[in-house]
Amino acid sequence: MDDLLEELGIQNEETEKYVYLGHNNQPQKQITLNVHLNIHPSSNIQLSCDPNDSLNYLRFFICETIEKYPAFSGLNNLYANSLSRNQQILPKKGSIGEFTANGDNISCDITSQDIWLDIRITSIEFQVMIQFEIKLPFNTTIENLKGCLVDIANEILRAKNINASYEELDLAINKIQVEKENLTSELECPALNENELIKKLARIEKDKLLSEEFDHLDRYVWCFLDKRKKLDPNVTNPPVEIPINNKPESHAYETLPIRGLRLESTMLQQTPQVKEKRRKTRRDHESDEKPNFCACLMM
């Protein structure tokens, strides 16, 4: 049996000892392809294929395989197109074995109707951070995204008895510029602290579409809510104590394409402008409390 497997090319010292059965329960030779996503060329997804299967099946198989990654899970009309081998586009029809060989590198584009955005929303005055992922159509404008995020933030904060009434003008939306070479094996952004993330922020124009700013892997957003710019700058609200990773309960979220919702207390690493404003407020407060007489007189 081992000789038969070696002859078919489906067993060696580095592979498991199992047999693929094809038509009539006969041992079927398999080929291994290394699939690379054009949006992340260093990615490598290995597929074992029947060379007699069609190229259309290969496109389906690629999508079925990448759906195990959170960034591609549950997307509508997920499709692999522009398959190429050695920079040569593969035809739409034909079998896998006609145009590929064992160990070939295949690159492709991945398209879908929607995208999972990874969202962080930080309320500066309440010192809390809301984190979740939301699925939205690629043709959504940044302006509509802002309105959606403000509504969600208000509902979540109110569900935790925080009296919040933010408006779109109170929200600054930023894109976290992620280096795709540093993505984890799950095609996720590595765990970075707030100091590192703040250095990677870039503002987004409200009249752009999601498709112009994001792709399936470049999908990270950090928003800041701050109503104090409309209020007295010397008035600050104390931080609200919120249990770590406490999930707000609300039936409204059951119908929304949201996952991984959590609310956390945070001591925000402020931007230089916010830092300077707080330092000035602290200095003014301390100067008001200084005694008007020399300390030596007290002795």
Q: Does 104 share its domain with 134? A: no
3-state secondary structure of 110: strand
| Mean of pLDDT over the chain | 79
In this structure, are 54 and 160 located in the same domain? no
Does 120 lie in the same domain as 107?
no
3-class secondary-structure state, position 10: coil
Range of the domain at 235: 114-273
Q: Are residues 148 and 101 in the same domain?
A: no
Domain assignment of residue 169, yes or no: yes
Q: Examine the domain organization and report whether 160 and 265 are in the same domain.
A: yes
Count of other CB atoms within 10 angstroms of residue 159: 14
In this structure, the dihedral spanned by the alpha carbons of residues 100, 104, 110 and 115, taken in order and rounded to 10 degrees, is 150
Higher-confidence residue of 23 and 246: namely 23
Last residue in a domain, options 111, 129, 155: 111
Distance, CA of 19 to CA of 1 (rounded, Å): 10
How many domains is the chain partitioned into structurally? 2
Contact 8, 29 (CB under 8 A): yes
**Domain-embedded: residue 287:** no
- The pLDDT of 86-102, averaged and rounded, is 92
27 and 53 assigned to the same domain:
yes
How does strand 258-265 pair with strand 128-137? antiparallel
Same domain assignment for residues 122 and 64: no
The contacts of residue 180 (CB under 8 Å, 6+ apart) are 39, 40, 42, 217, 218
Same domain, 256 and 158: yes
Q: In which residue are the tokens 């160990």 written?
A: 103
Q: Is residue 297 part of a domain?
A: no
- Distance (Å, whole) CA 144 – CA 149: 9
pLDDT per residue over 14-64, tens digit each? 444 444 555 566 656 889 999 999 999 888 999 999 999 999 999 999 999
Structural domain includes residue 285:
no
Residues 205 and 75 in one domain: no
Of 81, 111, 141, the residue at which a domain comes to its end is 111
What is the band of 234 on the pLDDT scale with cuts at 50, 70, 90? very low
Residue where a domain stops, chosen among 58, 80, 111: 111
182: domain CATH number? Answer: 3.10.20.90
Rg for the chain, CA atoms, rounded: 27
* 138 in the same domain as 89: no
What confidence tens digit (pLDDT) does each residue in 124-175 have? 888 999 999 999 999 999 999 999 999 999 999 999 888 888 999 999 999 9
State whether 120 and 107 are in the same domain: no
Q: Which of 2-16, 110-124, 190-204 has the lowest mean pLDDT?
A: 2-16
Q: In this structure, is residue 172 part of a structural domain?
A: yes
pTM of the model: 0.74
> Quick one: 136 and 260 in the same domain?
yes
